[in-house]
């Protein structure tokens, strides 16, 4: 030990061990948890490991005491190399984090470039001087006396090495403060916000390190002054307690700087490249600080008090077991808390009963779990959940939090273009445009983008943790999927019920027409033919009327066109159906077909082509049936041409637009019945489109037009079973 005071030795060993453990943990954490292996991350992690190596050598030297031998020369060299490199490493890492290398013409780069070159030059000279010092110790011959005199060269009585190192340390930490005070641009997502939040911690750490540099410079100057009066070993023996006290102060200040740096690393991921901080990393940081403090105090005290090694090992083992037990307990408590928060998403929503009971509420209550997510898991001030893509027509309007908040959101199609892949976790947005929301979290499903979660500030003013966003993504994806699945099932059940009713009504109507209208005509015709003087014209009229009624009845029976779609192709089958069934319904039919779209439409799977064909046919049928309903109001409307336009295009998927220039749909006007009939039919077909991965949207202006758009994204295929 270096002093005769056990408590002072205890404090020195404890602080040195604490710094070693914390720096080693931080360095490994940065290197093992970073998303991208940028050179700045390697430099930051390597610098932390170098700091751990310095305090490792410092701890060993404290235990070995003063006498000089080759063993101590090794540990002194091992400690001095990090002592030379770390100031420049800290400065370069602060430059990297401040954005020095992101823009060549930035003010930060123009301002710091000459100083960076100077610090690198001083570092090179320092390493050269250290190498010369080790060489002179290893080769004490007289042939190196001139070199020894050069190394001892002094300015104003102060050795050049002492002046150079002191200036070098103060320069590095002072320039780091300037880089943090006026940083450059940040290209990292949430990087600017994280930089603003982490700046106080990094600035405080740089100030503490600057104070350390001043203390080191003052200590070196004092020691040099004392060595002018007496040899080095005599000065050390006479001032051992003073030197130990200064060492304790400097090591404690470095420990404080390490704690400040660690808080910035774990709270804002300043060196890991992560988009979001992680609560688990913060908890582990708290545990390692507690463990390092307890371990260093226990082990340092044991050695300082001269306990046997066996007792030290036993005490350290007991401490490790206690720490592991407490960590397991906290992990279990954290797991229970997460399960409690997720319980609203795991409880039954009564979906089966809602599907089977037609009188049940059409809407599923998803607001309660969404409110729980926003209030208890995320702690958000404001949030919106909106469906996108194929699930949008099924999921309904956006959910908002708080409950009374109005979801006056703009069209989210442009925002969807910013989500390049499922790896995109969060993107910043303009709160003035998106109802006070600052962040957009994309939600994904098997068919691509399924929705977006818009989040405002946290209630505590902090940043969202990575675990919180991951839980929010999974939960919101499930909410949207649940809502869409229930709506899809409800519509399919309604379609099945309507299909059953239509079949029954069709059978009854066919029986009525055949029994009450067709058979009497045929019987009357037979009687006329058998009677004397039968009138051929009356028989022909009866047969013609029967033929017309049977034809009308057959026309109303749905026809199966799957084979035609497969054999002829989607576009020719659609053109043939419009010409054969609705040729007289429109004054003009205009086609706009892109060649690429026609080729891609011919490649559609049979079931997908069938669903799309019937959906487009239903839109045309609605236009033919309801587009002229206003013609009975006056002669002017009768003279108005009635045109239909069908456009088939390809834009990363098949897009079909059916537009007529009829009277449009108006729920509050004279055409309300037509709107209801058309809406019910298209709602069912929008469900079928969702099954095959497409969407159906309706846009109408009363008295001007009705436009129905069908979108089938690229890659959509057959559903699991046929829909024929």
Name the token pair of 86: 């770390």
Q: In what order do the strands lie in the sheet with 383-387?
A: 399-401, 383-387, 448-455, 439-445, 427-428
**CB 616, CB 577: distance < 8 Å:** no
Domain boundaries, the chain: 6-331, 361-480, 561-724
**CB 3, CB 240: distance < 8 Å:** yes
| pLDDT at position 679 over 80 | no
- Helices and strands counted in the chain (H then E): 24, 12
- Burial (CB < 10 A; 0-12, 13-18, 19+), residue 150, is exposed
Q: Count CB neighbours of 336 within 10 A.
A: 10
Determine which of 262-266, 655-659, 674-678 has the lowest per-residue pLDDT on average: 674-678
C-alpha distances (whole Å) from 360 to each of 323, 351, 356, 528, 590 are 54, 10, 8, 58, 44
- Burial (CB < 10 A; 0-12, 13-18, 19+), residue 717, is exposed
Would you call the peptide bond into 5 cis, given omega within 30 degrees of 0 as the criterion?
Answer: no
Name the token pair of 593: 């077909």
Q: What is the pLDDT of residue 282?
A: 79
* Tens digit of each residue's pLDDT (9 = 90 or more) over 596-654: 988 888 888 888 888 888 889 888 888 888 777 554 444 544 556 888 999 999 987 89
Which architecture, in CATH terms, is 361-480? 2-Layer Sandwich (3.30)
CATH class of 561-724: alpha beta
Q: What is the pLDDT of residue 649?
A: 92
Q: What is the pLDDT of residue 611?
A: 85
Q: Count CB neighbours of 452 within 10 A.
A: 27
Those residues with Cβ within 8 angstroms of residue 128's Cβ, 6 or more apart along the chain or in another chain: none
Q: Count CB neighbours of 413 within 10 A.
A: 10
Across the range 100-115, mean pLDDT stands at 83
Determine which of 1-5, 333-337, 693-697 has the lowest per-residue pLDDT on average: 1-5
**CB 461, CB 197: distance < 8 Å:** no
**CB 295, CB 21: distance < 8 Å:** yes
**CB 298, CB 315: distance < 8 Å:** yes
* Tens digit of each residue's pLDDT (9 = 90 or more) over 36-86: 567 777 888 888 888 888 888 888 877 766 555 555 556 666 667 777 888
What value does the CA radius of gyration of the chain take, rounded to a whole number of Å?
41
| pLDDT at position 671 over 50 | no
Cα angle, residue 557 at apex, residues 556 and 562 outer, rounded to 5°: 120
Please provide residue 415's backbone torsions phi and psi, each rounded to the nearest 5 degrees: -65, -35
Alpha-helical regions (H) of 228-278: 232-238, 240-268
């Amino acid at each position: 030990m270096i002093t005769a005071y056990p408590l002072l030795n205890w404090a020195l060993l404890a602080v040195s061990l604490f710094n070693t453990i914390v720096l080693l943990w931080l360095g490994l954490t940065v290197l093992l948890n970073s998303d991208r292996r940028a050179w700045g991350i390697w430099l930051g992690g390597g610098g932390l490991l170098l700091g751990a190596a310095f305090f490792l050598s410092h701890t060993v030297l404290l235990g070995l005491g003063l006498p000089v031998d080759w063993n101590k020369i090794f540990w002194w060299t091992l400690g001095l190399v990090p002592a030379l490199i770390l100031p420049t490493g800290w400065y370069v890492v602060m430059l990297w984090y401040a954005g020095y290398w992101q823009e060549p013409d930035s003010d930060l780069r123009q301002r710091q470039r000459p100083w960076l070159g100077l610090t690198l030059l001083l570092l090179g000279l320092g390493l050269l001087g250290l190498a010369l010092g080790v060489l002179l110790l290893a080769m004490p011959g007289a042939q190196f006396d001139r070199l020894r005199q050069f190394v001892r060269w002094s300015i104003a009585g102060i050795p050049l090495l002492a002046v150079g190192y002191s200036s070098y340390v103060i320069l590095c930490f002072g320039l780091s403060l300037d880089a943090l005070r006026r940083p450059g641009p940040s290209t990292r997502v949430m990087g600017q916000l994280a930089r603003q939040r982490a700046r106080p911690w990094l600035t405080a750490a740089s100030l503490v390190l600057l104070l350390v540099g001043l203390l080191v410079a003052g200590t070196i100057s004092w020691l040099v002054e004392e060595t002018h009066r007496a040899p080095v070993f005599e000065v050390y023996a006479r001032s051992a307690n003073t030197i130990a006290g200064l060492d304790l102060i400097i090591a404690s200040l470095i420990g404080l700087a390490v704690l400040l740096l660690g808080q910035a690393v774990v709270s804002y991921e300043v060196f890991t490249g992560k988009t979001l901080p992680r609560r688990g990393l913060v908890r582990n940081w708290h545990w390692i600080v507690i463990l390092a403090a307890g371990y260093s105090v226990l082990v340092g005290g044991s050695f300082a008090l001269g306990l046997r090694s066996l007792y030290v090992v036993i005490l350290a083992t007991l401490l490790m077991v206690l720490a592991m037990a407490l960590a397991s307990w906290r992990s279990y408590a954290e797991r229970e808390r997460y399960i409690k928060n997720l319980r609203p998403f795991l409880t039954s929503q009564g979906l089966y009963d809602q599907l089977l009971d037609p009188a049940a509420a059409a809407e599923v209550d998803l607001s309660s779990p969404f409110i729980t997510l926003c209030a208890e898991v995320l702690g958000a001030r404001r949030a919106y959940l909106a469906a996108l893509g194929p699930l949008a027509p099924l999921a309904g309007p956006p959910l908002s939090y708080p409950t009374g908040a109005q979801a006056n959101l703009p069209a989210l199609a442009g925002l969807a273009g910013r989500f390049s892949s499922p790896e995109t976790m969060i993107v910043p947005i303009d709160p003035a445009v998106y109802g006070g929301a600052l962040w957009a979290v994309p939600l994904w499903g098997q068919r691509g983008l399924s929705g977006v979660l818009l989040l405002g500030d946290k209630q505590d003013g902090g940043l969202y943790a990575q675990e919180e966003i991951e839980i929010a993504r999974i939960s919101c994806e499930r909410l949207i999927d649940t809502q869409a699945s229930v709506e899809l099932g409800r519509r399919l059940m309604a379609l099945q019920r309507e299909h059953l009713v239509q079949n029954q009504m069709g059978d009854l109507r066919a029986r009525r027409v055949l029994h009450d209208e067709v058979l009497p005509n045929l019987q009357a015709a037979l009687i006329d033919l058998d009677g004397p003087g039968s009138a051929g014209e009356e028989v022909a009229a009866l047969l013609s009327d029967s033929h017309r009624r049977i034809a009308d009845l057959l026309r109303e029976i749905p026809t199966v066109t799957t084979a035609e779609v497969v054999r002829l192709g989607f576009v020719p089958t659609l053109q043939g159906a419009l010409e054969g069934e609705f040729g007289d319904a429109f004054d003009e039919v205009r086609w706009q077909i892109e060649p690429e779209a026609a080729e891609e439409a011919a490649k559609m799977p049979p079931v997908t082509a069938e669903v799309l064909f019937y959906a487009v046919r239903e839109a045309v049928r609605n236009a033919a049936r309801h587009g002229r309903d206003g013609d009975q109001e006056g002669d002017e409307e009768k003279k108005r041409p009635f045109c239909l336009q069908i456009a088939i295009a390809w834009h990363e998927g098949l897009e079909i637009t059916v537009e007529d220039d009829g009277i449009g749909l108006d729920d509050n006007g004279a055409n309300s019945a037509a709107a209801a009939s058309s809406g019910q039919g298209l709602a069912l077909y929008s469900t079928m489109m969702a099954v095959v991965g497409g969407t159906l949207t309706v846009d109408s202006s009363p008295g001007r037009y009705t436009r129905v758009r069908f979108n089938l994204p690229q890659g959509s295929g057959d559903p699991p079973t046929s829909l024929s």
